[in-house]
DNA sequence: CTGAAAGCGCTAACAG
DNA sequence: CTGTTAGCGCTTTCAG
């Protein structure tokens, strides 16, 4: 067994209490006593035991980051900032993968199989509003992304609607009139619904009307983007002069299809994505895209969770929408 | 405070011991007693307390995954499999980011600031061989990637040398004679050294000799790949007929530079990368690359760590090299 | 099959 | 400033 506080106390000739005081640099300890204790600790290689501390404190200092999968770039992007923010507030982050399974997401709402974490930050993709009732009231949670639960669950969102609107405004400003929305998926995630809504609002604002033929269904993957555009072109459906893809993967797939069919981007068709994945900067042409402030997403999520855990008064509302930036690149000029 | 075992015991009219037995489906408990206990647990919403259990057991059931950064694709790819494997063995994974700082990597060797984890899987980039001495002997660690420590540290490796050799063999088989190595970095990571060594061995095997002008220095990023190739072309240095990039980012940066300068790939210059990032499949032309078996990497790392933690006899040697596959795509035909 | 009770390592209330 | 000590929730030894 590892060396305990008791061992240190004996070695330093003080009581356990004093060792504890030193470890937590608490209260008043006479400098020389402190030094003696520190020496003893170093000598014995003392390391405080997290389990005992947690048991005593009733908190573990752990928070869970719950994501569907790390291969999706946005989740990987989020992990770094979340870990850093959490660390700054004294938390350690542990990872939970849901593979987008609803059961696993629900399990998080109840605090998990064991009370291992003080709270969770979750990107939920499969929860339904009514699942909110299964939530254990005293388990702090912050949802990132869509607002999928009813009730007073805190949540920090990507500005889907506002950004989609900004994209349309940008395209209309370039004189484009026949805008395609790629990745249309009626009643899928709220993310899709919000981007759709922003798209439609943008069109209305620009005095344009949506053409049904230009709302193109596709899963949000590169392969699907490619397939959908190929089919659209081959079927000689009405040709857009701009495409707003629901995310960058779709956009990059579309780009490949357009190039394969000899359609020039951006001359004939402008192309805009969403997410600002790294590749967007490096494709040829480079891709105009919406860049949500992921850093702020992480910062807010951790801060909001910390507020709940520590019972501190919320310095911000229960719902936060972070900023975004439209990165205009070669694909829409 | 949450409901404890004691509460459940009282509600079910049994002793704490019996509840514990039920929870750990231990020993012999009469079916009806078991049921009564289960009912009481459900009724009260009992959830076992991880801290108490850890304190008692002397193990936390947590393992650390220590990586420099999640934005580098390979780390993100590793996370999923590691979490899944760990879960299958009853561990929870927690994340530690080192930003490649040597001090932080060393700290892991000593078991960290608190005994929170039972062991660690680390991708170390900055450790030096002599750091091995700082290692706390009883803290289980598995290194992934390079073998950076002397001593008996377990480690699972990517087949850098073998794969680099296979790449050269492939290019030579296509009739290419003037092979460039992009991302040459004398005495950087061992990864680079091993790939370099494989490259040279491959050349020797094919009866070719390395030209110094074709060992091109560059950081392992896309921007650097682009810059290095642009400079090389603009300086009118000797033209290669094939480029082996130390990783895919470099290769994709190089691709961009080649296209910008009107060099046709693969007709004039074949191009091969390393890592098999997702984009490699979708670039134009798609990129030939080495695909290490990341799944196996994760599986072995977790299994080896588990062996150390549980003190089980090692079913495998202390060093494992996983498989790879050379994915031949459009960029080298 | 079940109960009583010790004790894992630490914090903090209480007492000097 | 420092010592004593109870107890966080659980597992497990020892008795029944």
Instruction: List Cβ neighbours of A283 (8 Å cut-off, separation of 6 or more).
Output: A252, A255, A331
3-state helix, strand, coil in chain A (%, to 5): 45, 15, 40
CB-nearest to B80 from A71, A80, A112 is: A71
Which residues 11-70 of B interface with strand C at a CB distance below 7 A?
13-18, 21, 27-30, 33, 52, 55-56, 58
- A130: exposed, middle or buried (Cβ count in 10 Å: 0-12, 13-18, 19+): exposed
Answer yes or no: do B71 and A278 touch at CB < 8 A. yes
Nucleic strand C under 7 Å from the C-beta of A1: yes
* Nearest chain A Cα distance for residue B197, angstroms: 30
Query: Protein B53 CA to nucleic acid C8 C1', in Å?
Result: 9
Measured distance CA(A52)–CA(A3) in Å, rounded: 13
Q: How many residues comprise chain A?
A: 333
Nearest CA in chain B to A280: B279
Cis ω before B285 (30° cut-off from 0) = yes
Tokens of B333: 């035909």
| pLDDT tens figures, B70-106 | 777 778 888 889 999 999 999 999 988 888 889 999 9
Q: At residue A223, what are phi and psi to the nearest 5 degrees?
A: -60, -40
- pLDDT 10s digit of each residue in chain B, 333 long? 578 888 888 888 888 888 888 887 776 778 888 888 888 888 888 888 889 988 888 889 999 999 988 777 778 888 889 999 999 999 999 988 888 889 999 989 888 777 899 999 999 888 888 888 888 888 999 999 877 777 778 999 999 999 999 999 999 999 999 999 999 986 667 889 999 999 999 999 999 999 999 999 999 989 999 999 999 999 999 999 999 999 999 999 999 999 999 999 999 999 999 999 888 998 889 999 999 999 999 999 999 999 999 887 767 778 899 999 999 999 998
CB-nearest to A77 from B71, B80, B111 is: B71
Give the residue from A276, A226, A231, A230 showing the smallest Cα distance to A254. A226
Q: Which nucleotides of chain D does any protein CB come within 7 A of?
A: 1-5, 7-13
Nucleic strand D under 7 Å from the C-beta of B17: yes
In a 13 Å sphere around the CA of B15, the CA atoms on its Cβ side amount to: 4
Answer yes or no: do B60 and A79 touch at CB < 8 A. no
Relative to beta strand A288-292, strand A324-327 is antiparallel
Measured distance CA(B97)–CA(A78) in Å, rounded: 13
Query: Protein A16 CA to nucleic acid D4 C1', in Å?
Result: 10
CB atoms under 10 Å from CB of B128, counted, come to 13
Query: Protein A102 CA to nucleic acid D8 C1', in Å?
Result: 34
Instruction: Assign A27 a pLDDT band (cuts: 50, 70, 90).
Output: low
Nucleic strand C under 7 Å from the C-beta of A4: yes
| pLDDT tens figures, A140-180 | 999 998 777 777 789 999 999 999 999 999 999 999 999 99
Answer yes or no: do B95 and A97 touch at CB < 8 A. no
Instruction: List Cβ neighbours of A273 (8 Å cut-off, separation of 6 or more).
Output: A245, A247, A248, A250, A251, A252, A280, A287, A288, A289, A290
Which residues 28-87 of B interface with strand D at a CB distance below 7 A?
48-49, 52-53, 55-57
Measured distance CA(B81)–CA(B301) in Å, rounded: 10
Query: Protein B46 CA to nucleic acid C1 C1', in Å?
Result: 23
Nucleic strand C under 7 Å from the C-beta of B110: no
* Nearest chain B Cα distance for residue A31, angstroms: 23
Query: Protein B331 CA to nucleic acid D14 C1', in Å?
Result: 73
Answer yes or no: do A259 and B284 touch at CB < 8 A. yes
* Chain B residues near residue A115 by CB distance under 8 angstroms: 2, 47-51
Helix axes B248-260, B222-234, angle to 10 degrees: 40
CB atoms under 10 Å from CB of B64, counted, come to 23
């Amino acid at each position: 067994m590892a060396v305990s506080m008791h061992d240190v106390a004996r070695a330093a000739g003080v009581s356990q209490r004093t060792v504890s005081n030193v470890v937590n640099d608490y209260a008043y300890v006479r400098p020389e006593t402190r030094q003696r204790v520190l020496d003893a600790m170093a000598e014995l290689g003392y390391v405080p035991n997290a389990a005992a501390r947690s048991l005593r404190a009733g908190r573990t200092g752990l928070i869970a980051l719950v994501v569907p999968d790390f291969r999706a770039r946005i989740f990987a992007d989020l992990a770094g900032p979340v870990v850093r923010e959490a660390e700054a507030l004294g938390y350690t982050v542990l990872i939970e993968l849901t593979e987008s399974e609803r059961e696993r997401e629900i399990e998080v709402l109840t605090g998990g199989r064991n009370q291992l974490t003080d709270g969770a930050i979750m990107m939920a993709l499969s929860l339904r509003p009514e699942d909110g009732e299964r939530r254990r009231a005293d388990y702090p949670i912050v949802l990132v992304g869509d607002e999928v639960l009813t009730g007073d669950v805190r949540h920090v969102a990507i500005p889907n609607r506002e950004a989609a609107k900004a994209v349309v405004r940008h395209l209309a400003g370039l004189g484009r009139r026949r805008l395609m929305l790629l990745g249309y998926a009626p009643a899928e995630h709220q993310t899709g619904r919000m981007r759709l809504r922003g798209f439609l609002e943008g069109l209305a604002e620009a005095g344009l009307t949506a053409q049904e033929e230009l709302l193109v269904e596709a899963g949000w993957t590169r392969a699907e983007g490619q397939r959908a555009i190929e089919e659209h072109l081959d079927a000689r459906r009405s040709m857009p002069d701009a495409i707003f893809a629901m995310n960058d993967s779709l956009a990059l797939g579309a780009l490949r299809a357009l190039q394969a069919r000899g359609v020039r981007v951006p001359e004939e068709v402008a192309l805009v994505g969403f997410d600002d994945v790294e590749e967007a900067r490096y494709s040829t042409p480079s891709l105009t895209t919406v860049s949500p402030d992921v850093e702020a997403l992480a910062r807010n999520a951790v801060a909001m969770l910390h507020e709940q855990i520590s019972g501190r008064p919320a310095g911000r509302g229960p719902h936060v929408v972070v900023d975004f930036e439209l990165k205009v690149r070669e694909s829409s000029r």
